[in-house]
Amino acid sequence: MSKILTSEEIQQTPTATPFFQRLLCWEGFLLAVTLAVFVVNALASPYFLNIWNLSDATFNFTEKAIIVLPMAMLIIAREIDLSVASTIALSSTAMGFCAAAGVDTPLLVCVGLGVGLLCGLFNGLLVTRFNLSSIVITIGTMSLYRGITYILLGDKALNQYPESFAWFGQGYVWGALSFEFALFLLLAALFVFLLHRTNFGRRTYAIGNNPTAAWFSGINVKRHNLLLFALVGLMAGLASVLLTSRLGSTRPTIAMGWELAVVTMAVLGGVNILGGAGSMPGVIIAAFLMGLVTFGLSLLNVPGIVMSIIIGAMLIVVISLPIITRRVMQRRRI
């Protein structure tokens, strides 16, 4: 963990000006990479800078980015939820059956949010009440929720949604600004404030750095983590509403593999997988970066398997480069 400099130490360091501190931090590095990817995409494809194409690009990552906001906080607190994709599937299935029964749009949204919240609470209760490993529990509930979806749906799809329901995933609030993307920007601002400007966020960091010390300092660690699990489940339910609305149907394979994409966004954004460190701006920039990469490759008609290889290689380089650089600098100092 890097040392946190005091204001006096910063002033006494000639090269540690605020500009260079921001430039050399992880968020600054990610922002530079994102801008570079944007320029490369603009040069590689004449269709990239079209405002409506850019608007469509946000659909590639918006739902995942909404989930990664609370997931980042959960990982900072030394926990993780690998069942978010299955939670989306179960929430979508519940909405699909309710829609087939004639339920109106407002209640459908409540059903999607409610199922997601219940799944998150169930995960949190198992982890906090029985002191079980979150990675083990959520791998189990990942299979449980997806299995229930397959049992209920089989190989069929549910698509009897009311017309008004489509607006959540396909509607625009102003010009090319989609409702999904506007909602993500609002939630991103709220989570930045929650993590970095509230006592709740400070408790999250304290738990991630040392849960035992946090407990002895008066923080109810179990209740705090339960709230984080519930928040992740709620955002997974919201993502389910948006994704189901955008696709217009529910299938048992919906959001398959999204849990890895969400965790990748968090790690790429600088969140320590072992807990205790990370920032929300870094996670938000990482979401934009992955969205730009996938959209740029799709404009170039790159096959899906090649796209996966390129994204995987990019992730390895982006994560390993700062570590290698730091080790080289330390050796030179020695």
| Secondary-structure class of domain 60-322 per CATH | mainly alpha
* 9 pLDDT more than 50: no
Of 325, 311, 282, nearest to 68 by C-alpha is 282
> What pLDDT does 23 receive?
43
Amino acid sitting at position 253: T
* 233 pLDDT more than 70: yes
> What pLDDT does 322 receive?
65
* 22 pLDDT more than 50: no
Query: Per-residue confidence at 8, pLDDT binned at 50, 70, 90?
Result: very low
* 155 pLDDT more than 60: yes
Query: Per-residue confidence at 208, pLDDT binned at 50, 70, 90?
Result: very high
Q: Nearest-5° angle of CA 182, CA 242, CA 95?
A: 150
* 15 pLDDT more than 70: no
Query: Per-residue confidence at 202, pLDDT binned at 50, 70, 90?
Result: very high
Residues shown for the chain: 334
Between 254 and 3, the more confident residue is: 254
Amino acid sitting at position 303: P
Percent of the chain surpassing pLDDT 70: 90
Across 242-261, average pLDDT: 91
For the chain, give the mean pLDDT: 86
pLDDT in tens, 39-97: 998 898 888 888 888 888 888 889 999 999 999 999 999 999 999 999 999 999 999 99
* 316 pLDDT more than 90: no
Query: Per-residue confidence at 5, pLDDT binned at 50, 70, 90?
Result: very low
Amino acid sitting at position 224: H
> What pLDDT does 138 receive?
95
Cβ neighbours for 209, distance < 8 A, ≥ 6 positions apart: 275, 276
pLDDT in tens, 275-311: 888 899 999 999 999 888 888 888 888 787 777 787 7
Across 97-124, average pLDDT: 95
Cβ neighbours for 96, distance < 8 A, ≥ 6 positions apart: 153, 158, 159, 160, 161, 244, 249, 250
Say if CB 68 and CB 287 are below 8 A apart.
yes
> What pLDDT does 180 receive?
93
> What pLDDT does 88 receive?
97
pLDDT in tens, 209-228: 999 999 998 999 999 999 99
Q: C-alpha 120: how far from its chain's center?
A: 15
Of 53, 76, 58, nearest to 208 by C-alpha is 76
pTM of the model: 0.87
Amino acid sitting at position 49: L
Q: What are the helix (H) ranges across 199-269?
A: 199-209, 211-216, 221-247, 258-268
Max avg pLDDT among 43-47, 100-104, 113-117, 305-309: 113-117
pLDDT in tens, 182-201: 999 999 999 999 999 999 99
Domain ranges of the chain: 60-322
> What pLDDT does 318 receive?
66
Of 118, 122, 117, nearest to 134 by C-alpha is 122
Q: What is the token pair recorded at 144?
A: 């449980």
> What pLDDT does 48 receive?
83
